[in-house]
Structure 1
Amino acid sequence: MSVSDVTPNAALPRVDEDFEGRGQGITQHVRLSRHNAVLLIEMVQEQNRNAMTADMKAALGEAFAQASSPEVRSVVITGSGKAFCAGGDIKAMQEPRTRESVEATMRRINETLVLPLFELPKPTFAAVNGVAAGAGVGIALACDFRVVSDKADFVFAFSRLGLVPDFALSFTLPRLVGGARAKELALLKGRLTAEEAERWGLVTELCAPGVVLDRAMELAARLAAGPTVALGFTKRMLDRSPTLGVHAALELEATSQSAAAVTRDHEVARQAFLHRDGAPSFEGR
């Protein structure tokens, strides 16, 4: 599904031209559009099912950098055509490589693509419109929420290629499904249908293929109208909690609450509550 397919929907207001792709790489591989405070990032390499080529990685890294703008208050990532993302570029794997070159590449990907997505202090949604394989699963699970087509599959092909999970899957997958099921999926099963992924806890909402992007944008718009700073702190606290003891968790709560308590959004919400003025109109600051 493309942006043009959903623009007439009331859930997708005007497109802000300031957030069109900047630079040749981002226009050829990733299309950006901002719908009020929601940034839509669409992988547009249909001919190779949005595979994670070097150019695609660079374009996504630039897109995630633009997502850090304060004008953006939530993010949706999707793929054009019938696939979300088919994973790594098999053709590139045929080129001569050394252990050192692969490690350097992985570190660069982690620093410029995976961590910027994972650490965005605002809600992120993957609109999984079709198959997500390998690195595509990694991108989807690095998002906070996944709205998934009931025709999609999640494919873990790393072991079949003699490789290990990357794109933060060793971090996200066990936290979402538990260690035992993570091993089952990575080492034995290799593939989940959309319905199986929902049962395993990987899916926020399962949809018919034609409404996946609409629904993801609708949910993203809801959170984009919320108290962005507080949502970002909440996301950070919950992401870090599995590795924290109770004392560290309480300390993080204290520092986060103290920062949220002096935001304009808290003041607006407090005044609305005290004066019974209805739902507050958050400004994202």
Structure 2
Amino acid sequence: MTYEVSGGVATLTLNRQAQKNAIDLALRDELAQCVQAVARDRDVRALVLTGAGGAFCAGGDLRAILGAQLDAERGRERMRDTHAWLQTLLTLDRPVVAAVDGPAFGAGFGLALAADFVVASPRARFCLSFLRVGLVPDYGIFHTLPRVVGVQRAKELMLSARELPADEAKALGVVAEIVPADQVLARAQAIAASFANASPTAVSLIKRAMAAAPGADLATMLDFEAGAQGLCFASAAHREAAQRFIDKQPPLFQWPKGDCS
């Protein structure tokens, strides 16, 4: 795995190319360390997740899993160790962009779903392959996928274990943009870099609101809205951005040119 920070953007690249970046315990521990490093580093304004060698992530390393000879209790603890850092990623208060080329299977699909935006190549493929090997979806998929595609479609994808091509994934809302394979990482990094000039307070509060919204009632969300907007009104980022608007200067935060539909 490689971990690089440039211009406020951290790029985390899975790099087990011979295994299509399948996750074993060593890679999982590297993921944990890098995610925690991002969470601690306030100079990082956005995170990009990607994979090397024409694959995003083929899921869990089945040879390593079988070799561990897990019983129910050890299997549970293995997943809890994963959840310790995965929850940090899912609740990160800064934008996460996934650059997906090639397969995003199993846990790889879960990592993509942990992102706020997924930029994919035309050859990207998504698959909840767990049932093919007698497992249930993990890496937070029970939580994330129904919020993106709805419960009925999530059940279909989980129980069919079928492959989802890039264009269908975009139609379902899993993918934000499809770009040529040689532009996937650059586009993801451009999106991430645009947040260097966004209000960190507003970004964090938007992410918190969207995480809470599916299970909250109107009164709860209106109360959150009032408190969040109060914090933003009082922020230096808002005052500077508003003054630039009044002075007819370009906004500091601008989405990079491209179609995010």
CA distance in 1 between counterparts of 2:232 and 2:37 reads 24
Tell which deviates more after alignment, 270-279 or 77-86.
270-279
| Aligned residue number for residue 91 of structure 1 | 63
Residue equivalent to 2:11? 40
Return 121-130 or 259-268, whichever deviates more.
259-268
Contact 2:127 2:164 in 1 (8 A): yes
Q: Equivalent residue for 2:220? A: 248
Write out the 4+ residue segments of structure 1 that deviate beyond 3 Å after TM superposition.
Answer: 274-278
- Which residue of structure 1 lines up, in the alignment, with residue 248 of structure 2? 276
Return the letter of the residue paired with 1:268. E
- Secondary structure of the residue aligned to 1:165 is coil
User: Gapped runs of 5+ residues in structure 2?
Assistant: 255-261
Amino acid at match of 2:23: M
In structure 1, the partner of 2:139 is 167
Decide which of 100, 103, 117 is 1:131's aligned counterpart: 103
Tell me the SS of whatever aligns to 1:159.
Answer: helix
What SS does the aligned partner of 2:108 have? helix
Q: How does 1:9-88 map to 2 (within 5 A)?
A: 30-68=1-39, 69-88=41-60
Q: Which runs of 5+ in 1 are unaligned?
A: 1-29
Paired positions, count: 252
* Matching residue of 2:198: 226
1:134-153 matches, within 5 Å, as 134-153=106-125
CA deviation vs aligned residue, 1:2-28 (integer Å, no higher than 9, x gap): xxxxxxxxxxxxxxxxxxxxxxxxxxx
Q: Of 73, 77, 84, which residue of structure 2 is paired with 1:100?
A: 73
For 1:211 and 1:103, the matched residues in 2 are separated by 39
Shift of 1:262: 2.1
Greater mean deviation of Cα atoms: 269-278 or 37-46: 269-278
In structure 2, the CA distance between the partners of 1:53 and 1:233, relative to structure 1 (3 Å rule), is same
Residues 125 and 146 of structure 1 are in contact (CA less than 8 Å); yes or no, is this contact kept in structure 2? yes
CA RMSD of aligned residues (A): 1.5
* 2:164 equivalent among 192, 207, 215: 192
Query: Per-residue CA shift, 1:76-101, capped at 9, x if unaligned?
Result: 11000021001001012213211111
Is the aligned partner of 1:203 residue 2:179? Answer: no
Q: Partners of 1:162 and 1:45 in 2: how far apart?
A: 24
Task: State whether residues 129 and 161 of structure 2, in contact with CA within 8 Å, keep that contact through their aligned partners in structure 1.
Answer: no
Report the Cα offset of residue 236 of structure 1. 1.2
Residue type at the aligned position of 2:83: N
TM-score (norm 1): 0.85
Residue 239 of structure 1: aligned partner: 211
After superposition, what is the alpha-carbon deviation per residue over 1:48-96, rounded to whole angstroms, capped at 9, x for unaligned?
1111111111111111111121101111110000210010010122132
Percent identical among aligned pairs is: 35
2:154 maps to what in 1?
Answer: 182
Contact 2:125/2:164 (8 A) holds in 1: yes
8 Å CA contact 2:198, 2:252 repeated in 1: no
Give the whole-Å Cα distance in 1 for the aligned partners of 2:233 and 2:71. Answer: 51
Q: Secondary structure at the match of 2:138?
A: coil
Aligned partner of 2:259 in structure 1 is none
User: How much has 1:189 moved relative to structure 2?
Assistant: 4.7
Deviation string 1:206-253 (CA, Å, 9 cap, x unpaired) is 111111001111111112221122111111101210011111111211
Tell me the SS of whatever aligns to 2:129: coil
* Pair 1:116-2:88 in alignment: yes
C-alpha separation in 2, matches of 1:232 and 1:123: 8
